[in-house]
Amino acid sequence: MEVRTPPHIPRKFSGLSRWLPLLLVTAFVILFFTTWTSLFERWTRWDEGLSHGLLIIAAFFYFFYNSLPWQTYKDPIALRLSLLILLVIFSVTQALAWHLNIFIIEQLAILPLLFLFYASIYGLKTAWQQRLVFALLIFAIPVWDQLNDLLLSMSSNVVGWMVKAIGMPALIEGNSIFIPYGHILIADGCSGIRYFVIALALGYIISLLNHYNIKRMLMTLLVAASIGLFANWIRIFILILVGHETKMQSPLMADHEYFGWILFGCLCLPAIYFAPVVRQPQRSPISLQLPSLLSIIAGIILLASGPLAVWLLTNKPAFTDWQTRLEITSNPANVTLPIPVTLAAGGFHETRRVERDGVAVYINIDHYQRVDKTDKLVPYLPRLFNNESWAIQEQTGSEILPGVLTRFRQKAGIREVVQLQWLEVGPYRTGSMSQAKLLQIPAAITQSPFFTIVTLQTPCDAQACDNVVPVFNDVISDFMLLKDN
């Protein structure tokens, strides 16, 4: 049988028209190699959130290859210019986020960049037809880590309700469950984020395999998310039952990794088996036509504009000697905070203890600065306090004080501590770590390389805890802890 190529495309280019999208993927990976390298390191770390990353990449290339060849469409000039401008904007944004080490923006920007790159070469219609394949990569990006605290809270509340429902003697303190034979902590790794994300990814892949429409895909993802959450809740609940019945002596209490995956598999396999199959629609014949060489060159050059601009315009940050903000004379030996603040590597740390009106106030200041291009101005700190031993009773802002005022209570104890904490990113101040990460952008523009965590704590009883605002205000004024913004 003789294979005939369309009359408007030479035979020698027919293979290139099929393989060109894959060649462009290679160019895309090379231009953002550092981002893909950091993602690869995360995938091979085999942690809770992204142990499935390489499988997602394999699935992406499977669906990508099966979608070939692509048809080229000529967009109106105004639309084409808009796509090219957006490509430059996202390229610069991604490169700037890489420079500032704002990983979530750097990695998330990969998705719109990939879409815009192909839209600028093949036309918006072709890129839109492949949008679901491009979106599969979201499951290989650690954006899901932002849900960890929410999922942890959900797991603690649901499992706590289940324990109460069966009448088990237990004291429930946030993410800690105290039974007569020991303490069961629903730690960060028990949030269920790994089951949640993998269940969603499986649901998405099944939807692509079965050619679901958007409505059916959303229903599938809802079912998948429910299975992932339910598997984790049941896993924790069974562990609590086993711990209670065996007086915490079962080997399952120390090594329950495989148990969780077996339970997850038992819930997922029936759902996968009974997922409805939709007959694959026949692909209508397409008219193969290579994109113009000018479109390919323009797309690659504009895609590279962000990394190139940042590389040319940024220099290694200059190190500045640390400057103390506390008086040395007010520092007794070996002072430690009632609730130690989680610290990142490096930095310069000051801790003091003072008294005001008979109230002991502990002041802690942690300074950080970038000394290399690869350093983060705001270091990675998953949580600023030890949630295994302390629970948040109340958290509010204050019209008088900066930052966030938090009241802690010791789990299974009576000790209470009130804390005032704020974060300084260059000249900007906030009480939120997520806002601090975003403030790195204006801080970089103003060339402010410093990040500081200011913490005030005081142990107190119930009555004294209600009257710490004036004391904190006096300490802030005495030590001039507030810098002019």
Please compute the mean of the pLDDT values over residues 266-285 and round it to a whole number: 77
Please compute the mean of the pLDDT values over residues 153-170 and round it to a whole number: 86
Give the lowest-confidence range in 157-171, 222-236, 278-292, 378-392. 278-292
pLDDT of residue 13: 47
Q: Are strands 176-179 and 404-410 parallel, antiparallel or unpaired?
A: unpaired
pLDDT bracket for residue 8 (50, 70, 90): very low
pLDDT of residue 288: 67
Residue 202 has pLDDT above 50, yes or no: yes
pLDDT of residue 128: 95
Most confident of 25-29, 149-153, 339-343: 25-29
pLDDT of residue 377: 81
What torsion do the CA atoms of 274, 279, 283, 284 make, to the nearest 10 degrees?
-150
pLDDT of residue 198: 93
Chain segment 102-145, per-residue pLDDT in tens: 788 888 999 999 999 999 999 999 999 999 999 999 999 988 88
Residue 332 has pLDDT above 60, yes or no: no
pLDDT of residue 322: 76
Helix (H, G, I), strand (E, B) or coil at 428: strand
Residue 11 has pLDDT above 60, yes or no: no
pLDDT bracket for residue 175 (50, 70, 90): confident
Query: With pLDDT > 70 as the criterion, what percentage of the chain qualifies?
Result: 88
Please compute the mean of the pLDDT values over residues 55-69 and round it to a whole number: 93
- Stated pTM of the model: 0.80
Query: Which tokens go with 257?
Result: 């990794």
Using a CB cutoff of 8 Å and minimum separation of 24, what contacts does 241-248 make?
241/168, 243/179, 243/181, 243/182, 243/184, 244/168, 244/179, 244/180, 244/181, 247/181, 248/179, 248/181, 248/182
Query: Who's near 224: CB < 8 A, 6+ residues apart?
Result: 199, 200, 202, 203, 204, 271
